């Protein structure tokens, strides 16, 4: 398995695709990340066409177990960020 792409590599690739400089590409990437963070933390969802949907889901209160001691305790309800991968991306990876 190869190493994940770093932010620097992503900005460089984005700049090349856009035909722009790295500063503009970095600003665009930061703006997109900011919009996604703001929308999802506010309880909404963001769909990235061809990539997937990022959303915040609520998890109910539940019983969990500490694996080291075996002790069971009640974990309060919380929120978790989930990403559902688009069918187009799944097909391109598996096809």
- pTM equals 0.78
Length of the chain (residues) = 95
- The domains found in the chain, sorted by start residue, are 1-42 (no CATH), 45-95 (4.10.520.10)
Quote the percentage of the chain above a pLDDT of 90.
95
pLDDT of residue 80: 94
For 60-70, the pLDDT digits (tens) are: 999 999 999 99
Q: Assign 71 to helix, strand or coil.
A: coil
For 2-29, the pLDDT digits (tens) are: 899 999 999 999 999 999 999 999 999 9
The rounded distance, in Å, linking the Cα atoms of 15 and 79 is: 35
**pLDDT reading at 1 higher than 70:** no
């Amino acid at each position: 398995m190869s190493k994940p792409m770093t932010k620097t590599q992503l900005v460089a690739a984005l700049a090349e695709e856009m035909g722009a400089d790295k500063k503009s590409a970095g600003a665009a990437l930061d703006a997109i990340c900011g919009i996604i963070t703001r929308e999802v933390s506010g309880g909404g969802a963001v769909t990235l066409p061809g990539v997937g949907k990022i959303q915040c889901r609520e998890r109910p209160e539940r019983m969990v177990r500490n694996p080291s001691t075996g002790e069971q305790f009640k974990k309060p309800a919380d929120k978790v960020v989930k990403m559902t991968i688009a069918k187009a991306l799944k097909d391109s990876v598996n096809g």
